[in-house]
Protein backbone atom coordinates (compact mmCIF):
# COMPACT_ATOMS: atom_id res chain seq x y z
CA UNK A 1 0.00 0.00 0.00
CA UNK A 2 1.41 3.34 -1.09
CA UNK A 3 2.03 6.18 1.36
CA UNK A 4 0.37 8.71 -0.96
CA UNK A 5 -3.15 7.90 -2.11
CA UNK A 6 -4.25 8.29 -5.70
CA UNK A 7 -7.34 6.99 -7.49
CA UNK A 8 -6.37 3.92 -9.52
CA UNK A 9 -8.05 5.24 -12.64
CA UNK A 10 -9.36 8.37 -14.31
CA UNK A 11 -10.85 9.00 -17.70
CA UNK A 12 -12.05 11.69 -20.03
CA UNK A 13 -12.86 12.41 -23.63
CA UNK A 14 -10.67 14.41 -25.99
CA UNK A 15 -10.77 18.09 -25.19
CA UNK A 16 -12.02 17.59 -21.66
CA UNK A 17 -10.31 18.60 -18.45
CA UNK A 18 -9.48 15.89 -15.95
CA UNK A 19 -7.99 16.04 -12.50
CA UNK A 20 -6.07 13.46 -10.52
CA UNK A 21 -5.86 13.74 -6.77
CA UNK A 22 -3.05 12.79 -4.41
CA UNK A 23 -3.61 12.59 -0.68
CA UNK A 24 -0.90 12.45 1.95
CA UNK A 25 -0.14 13.56 5.47
CA UNK A 26 1.64 16.31 7.33
CA UNK A 27 4.96 14.47 7.14
CA UNK A 28 5.00 14.37 3.35
CA UNK A 29 2.72 16.57 1.24
CA UNK A 30 1.93 18.84 4.17
CA UNK A 31 5.58 19.71 4.73
CA UNK A 32 7.37 19.11 1.44
CA UNK A 33 7.11 19.72 -2.29
CA UNK A 34 4.98 17.54 -4.50
CA UNK A 35 6.15 16.16 -7.82
CA UNK A 36 4.23 14.53 -10.62
CA UNK A 37 5.56 11.97 -13.10
CA UNK A 38 4.05 10.65 -16.31
CA UNK A 39 4.81 7.10 -17.42
CA UNK A 40 3.92 5.38 -20.67
CA UNK A 41 3.94 1.57 -20.84
CA UNK A 42 7.41 0.10 -21.06
CA UNK A 43 9.17 3.42 -20.56
CA UNK A 44 10.77 5.31 -17.68
CA UNK A 45 8.78 7.94 -15.79
CA UNK A 46 9.10 11.52 -16.97
CA UNK A 47 9.00 14.57 -14.71
CA UNK A 48 5.82 16.53 -15.33
CA UNK A 49 5.55 18.89 -12.35
CA UNK A 50 8.00 19.94 -9.63
CA UNK A 51 7.84 22.19 -6.58
CA UNK A 52 4.09 21.63 -6.32
CA UNK A 53 3.07 23.50 -9.47
CA UNK A 54 6.00 24.20 -11.80
CA UNK A 55 6.47 22.64 -15.23
CA UNK A 56 9.89 21.69 -16.60
CA UNK A 57 10.67 23.18 -19.98
CA UNK A 58 8.95 21.25 -22.71
CA UNK A 59 5.90 20.24 -20.69
CA UNK A 60 2.79 21.79 -22.24
CA UNK A 61 0.81 24.28 -20.19
CA UNK A 62 -2.17 21.93 -20.55
CA UNK A 63 -0.67 20.29 -17.49
CA UNK A 64 -1.08 22.14 -14.23
CA UNK A 65 -0.98 21.23 -10.56
CA UNK A 66 -1.83 22.60 -7.17
CA UNK A 67 -1.47 21.75 -3.51
CA UNK A 68 -3.49 22.54 -0.45
CA UNK A 69 -2.64 21.24 2.99
CA UNK A 70 -1.96 17.53 2.72
CA UNK A 71 -3.49 17.07 -0.72
CA UNK A 72 -2.37 17.81 -4.23
CA UNK A 73 -3.90 17.52 -7.64
CA UNK A 74 -2.83 17.34 -11.25
CA UNK A 75 -5.05 18.80 -13.95
CA UNK A 76 -4.87 18.08 -17.64
CA UNK A 77 -6.89 20.32 -19.92
CA UNK A 78 -7.59 19.85 -23.62
CA UNK A 79 -7.20 16.12 -23.16
CA UNK A 80 -5.52 14.26 -26.00
CA UNK A 81 -5.19 10.58 -26.80
CA UNK A 82 -1.45 10.91 -26.30
CA UNK A 83 -2.04 11.79 -22.64
CA UNK A 84 -3.14 8.24 -21.94
CA UNK A 85 -0.57 7.06 -19.40
CA UNK A 86 0.04 6.42 -15.73
CA UNK A 87 0.53 9.44 -13.49
CA UNK A 88 2.35 9.30 -10.15
CA UNK A 89 2.61 11.87 -7.41
CA UNK A 90 5.66 11.90 -5.15
CA UNK A 91 7.01 13.79 -2.17
CA UNK A 92 9.69 13.62 0.46
CA UNK A 93 8.49 12.12 3.75
CA UNK A 94 10.08 13.33 6.97
CA UNK A 95 9.31 10.19 8.97
CA UNK A 96 12.13 8.01 10.25
CA UNK A 97 15.29 9.12 8.47
CA UNK A 98 13.35 10.48 5.52
CA UNK A 99 12.46 8.94 2.21
CA UNK A 100 10.84 9.64 -1.12
CA UNK A 101 7.28 8.32 -1.23
CA UNK A 102 5.12 7.77 -4.28
CA UNK A 103 1.44 7.45 -4.87
CA UNK A 104 0.15 4.18 -6.27
CA UNK A 105 -0.38 5.75 -9.65
CA UNK A 106 -3.44 6.69 -11.68
CA UNK A 107 -4.11 5.16 -15.07
CA UNK A 108 -5.58 7.86 -17.30
CA UNK A 109 -7.75 6.60 -20.13
CA UNK A 110 -8.80 8.87 -22.99
CA UNK A 111 -12.14 7.57 -24.20
CA UNK B 1 22.37 13.73 -19.81
CA UNK B 2 22.02 9.97 -20.11
CA UNK B 3 21.77 7.25 -17.53
CA UNK B 4 22.01 3.55 -18.34
CA UNK B 5 21.49 0.63 -15.99
CA UNK B 6 23.37 -2.63 -16.29
CA UNK B 7 23.43 -5.87 -14.35
CA UNK B 8 22.16 -9.44 -14.30
CA UNK B 9 18.64 -10.08 -15.45
CA UNK B 10 18.23 -13.17 -13.29
CA UNK B 11 19.31 -13.71 -9.71
CA UNK B 12 18.60 -16.60 -7.35
CA UNK B 13 16.70 -16.18 -4.10
CA UNK B 14 18.84 -15.33 -1.06
CA UNK B 15 21.61 -14.03 -3.33
CA UNK B 16 22.85 -10.45 -3.72
CA UNK B 17 21.93 -8.15 -6.58
CA UNK B 18 24.47 -5.73 -7.97
CA UNK B 19 23.40 -3.08 -10.49
CA UNK B 20 25.37 -0.24 -12.03
CA UNK B 21 24.17 3.02 -13.52
CA UNK B 22 26.49 4.71 -16.01
CA UNK B 23 26.13 8.48 -16.25
CA UNK B 24 27.11 10.58 -19.26
CA UNK B 25 26.57 14.22 -20.10
CA UNK B 26 26.73 15.29 -16.46
CA UNK B 27 29.31 15.25 -13.72
CA UNK B 28 28.58 12.61 -11.13
CA UNK B 29 30.91 14.57 -8.83
CA UNK B 30 28.75 17.69 -8.84
CA UNK B 31 27.64 18.14 -5.21
CA UNK B 32 24.37 19.70 -6.35
CA UNK B 33 22.94 16.45 -7.57
CA UNK B 34 22.03 13.17 -5.94
CA UNK B 35 21.75 9.78 -7.55
CA UNK B 36 18.89 7.42 -6.87
CA UNK B 37 17.47 4.01 -7.55
CA UNK B 38 13.74 3.43 -8.02
CA UNK B 39 12.07 0.13 -8.79
CA UNK B 40 8.74 -0.99 -10.18
CA UNK B 41 7.27 -4.47 -9.91
CA UNK B 42 5.21 -5.64 -12.86
CA UNK B 43 1.87 -3.85 -12.94
CA UNK B 44 2.70 -1.95 -9.76
CA UNK B 45 3.70 1.54 -8.78
CA UNK B 46 7.07 3.16 -8.22
CA UNK B 47 9.12 2.41 -5.12
CA UNK B 48 12.07 4.55 -4.07
CA UNK B 49 15.08 2.50 -3.00
CA UNK B 50 17.56 5.14 -1.94
CA UNK B 51 20.03 7.84 -2.95
CA UNK B 52 23.64 8.86 -2.66
CA UNK B 53 25.40 12.23 -2.77
CA UNK B 54 29.01 12.80 -3.84
CA UNK B 55 29.77 13.45 -0.17
CA UNK B 56 28.95 9.83 0.52
CA UNK B 57 25.74 10.65 2.34
CA UNK B 58 23.09 8.04 1.70
CA UNK B 59 19.39 7.67 2.46
CA UNK B 60 17.50 4.43 2.07
CA UNK B 61 13.91 3.25 2.08
CA UNK B 62 13.30 1.89 5.60
CA UNK B 63 11.08 -0.85 4.19
CA UNK B 64 14.19 -2.54 2.75
CA UNK B 65 15.32 -3.31 6.29
CA UNK B 66 19.01 -2.55 5.83
CA UNK B 67 19.44 -4.84 2.82
CA UNK B 68 20.51 -2.04 0.50
CA UNK B 69 23.65 -0.02 -0.18
CA UNK B 70 24.25 2.63 -2.84
CA UNK B 71 27.69 3.94 -3.73
CA UNK B 72 29.45 6.16 -6.27
CA UNK B 73 32.49 5.48 -8.45
CA UNK B 74 33.55 8.86 -9.75
CA UNK B 75 36.44 7.43 -11.77
CA UNK B 76 33.94 5.52 -13.90
CA UNK B 77 31.10 8.04 -13.67
CA UNK B 78 28.91 5.30 -12.24
CA UNK B 79 26.85 4.62 -9.18
CA UNK B 80 25.80 1.23 -7.93
CA UNK B 81 23.08 -0.59 -6.07
CA UNK B 82 23.66 -3.58 -3.84
CA UNK B 83 20.61 -5.45 -2.54
CA UNK B 84 21.08 -8.44 -0.26
CA UNK B 85 18.94 -11.45 0.64
CA UNK B 86 16.78 -11.34 -2.44
CA UNK B 87 13.29 -12.79 -2.58
CA UNK B 88 10.73 -13.02 -5.34
CA UNK B 89 9.29 -9.75 -4.03
CA UNK B 90 12.43 -8.00 -5.30
CA UNK B 91 11.57 -8.90 -8.90
CA UNK B 92 11.08 -5.57 -10.67
CA UNK B 93 12.33 -3.12 -13.24
CA UNK B 94 15.09 -1.12 -11.59
CA UNK B 95 15.60 2.50 -12.67
CA UNK B 96 18.44 4.84 -11.86
CA UNK B 97 17.65 8.54 -11.74
CA UNK B 98 19.20 11.90 -10.98
CA UNK B 99 17.85 14.29 -8.39
CA UNK B 100 18.47 17.91 -9.27
CA UNK B 101 18.23 21.25 -7.47
CA UNK B 102 17.15 22.75 -10.81
CA UNK B 103 13.80 21.07 -10.27
CA UNK B 104 13.77 21.29 -6.49
CA UNK B 105 15.23 17.82 -5.97
CA UNK B 106 12.89 16.01 -8.34
CA UNK B 107 14.17 13.25 -10.62
CA UNK B 108 14.89 15.03 -13.89
CA UNK B 109 16.71 12.27 -15.75
CA UNK B 110 16.04 8.55 -15.67
CA UNK B 111 17.61 5.46 -17.15
CA UNK B 112 15.52 3.17 -19.33
CA UNK B 113 15.35 0.58 -16.59
CA UNK B 114 16.60 -2.98 -16.30
CA UNK B 115 14.44 -5.97 -15.46
CA UNK B 116 15.66 -8.11 -12.59
CA UNK B 117 13.97 -11.43 -11.93
CA UNK B 118 14.55 -13.33 -8.71
CA UNK B 119 13.99 -17.00 -9.33
CA UNK B 120 15.68 -20.32 -8.75
Chain B residues with CB-CB distance to A under 8 A?
36, 38, 45-48, 51, 59-62, 95, 103-108, 110-113
Q: Which residues of B touch A39 (CB under 8 A)?
A: 46
Residue A97 to residue B61, Cβ atoms within 8 A = no
Task: Using a CB–CB cutoff of 8 Å, tell me whether A1 touches chain B.
Answer: no
User: Which strand ranges, in their side-by-side order, compose the sheet holding B68-73?
Assistant: B2-6, B17-24, B78-83, B68-73
- Integer CA distances (angstroms), A14 to A76, A97, A110, B36, B58, in order: 11, 43, 7, 36, 44
Residue B45 to residue A99, Cβ atoms within 8 A = no
Task: Using a CB–CB cutoff of 8 Å, tell me whether A44 touches chain B.
Answer: yes
Asked if A89 and A74 count as a contact pair (C-beta separation under 8 A), the reply is: yes
pLDDT tens track for A39-98: 999 999 999 999 999 999 999 999 999 999 999 999 999 999 999 999 999 999 998 788
Residue A37 to residue B62, Cβ atoms within 8 A = no
With cut-offs at 50, 70 and 90, classify the pLDDT of residue B49.
Answer: very high
pLDDT tens track for B53-101: 999 999 999 999 899 999 999 999 999 999 999 999 999 999 999 999 9
Nearest-Cα residue of chain A relative to residue B40: A44
Amino acid sequence: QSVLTQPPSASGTPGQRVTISCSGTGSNIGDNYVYWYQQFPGTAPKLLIYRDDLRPSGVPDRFSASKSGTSASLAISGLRSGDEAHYYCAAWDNRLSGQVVFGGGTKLTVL
Amino acid sequence: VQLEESGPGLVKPSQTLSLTCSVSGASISDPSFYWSWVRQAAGKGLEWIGRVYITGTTDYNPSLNGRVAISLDTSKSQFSLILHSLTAADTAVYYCARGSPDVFQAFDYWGRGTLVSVSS
